[in-house]
Structure 1
Amino acid sequence: MNAAADSGLVFPWAVLMGAGFGLLRLSTHDFWAMTPREICAAFAEPPGHAAFSRLRFEQLMQAFPDASALGKEQP
């Protein structure tokens, strides 16, 4: 046995495979060819792509209103 088996921790293969195949749409070949570092990078949040704050969202809504909000029909 090894240290991981002795600790009772189980690697979450089902979660990782579900995300790789379902979320990233990787082929089985591409998924199993990835290194652990590549897998971590694939799921990391890109720098500078954090969610909008409520204030920023409202500013964008004012700057770019929906056409229906202006009383216009959308195509």
Structure 2
Amino acid sequence: MSLPRFPWAEAMTLGLGTLRLPPETFWRMTLPELAAAARALRGNAPAAPDRSDLAALMEAYPD
């Protein structure tokens, strides 16, 4: 029994074509990172923090 092949052509089209990632960045990404980028294109990404969320994070983690 053989496993299905990974869809590299589709992954490269997404990363290098649609997302316009530099090749070095694309090849260093993990598959979960690439999947998150694909979800963001479909609008399933979590909302970006608003200004008050960012202020709270900056207060909690000053550097």
Q: Fold match, TM over 0.5?
A: yes
In our comparison, the structure showing a higher alpha carbon Rg is 1
Task: Note the C-alpha offset of 1:7.
Answer: 2.3
Amino acid at match of 1:32: W
Tell me whether 1:33 sits opposite 2:28 in the alignment. yes
Amino acid at match of 1:39: L
Following superposition, which runs of at least 4 residues in structure 1 exceed 3 angstroms of deviation? none
Unaligned runs of 5+ in 2: 48-63
Inter-partner Cα distance in structure 2 for 1:46 and 1:19: 16
* Aligned length in residues: 43
**SS of the counterpart of 1:9?**
coil
- Residue identity (%): 44
Unaligned runs of 5+ in 1: 1-5, 49-75
**What RMSD in Å do the two structures reach over aligned CA positions?**
1.6
Q: Which has the higher contact order (CA 8 A, sep 6+)?
A: 2
Task: Note the C-alpha offset of 1:23.
Answer: 0.5
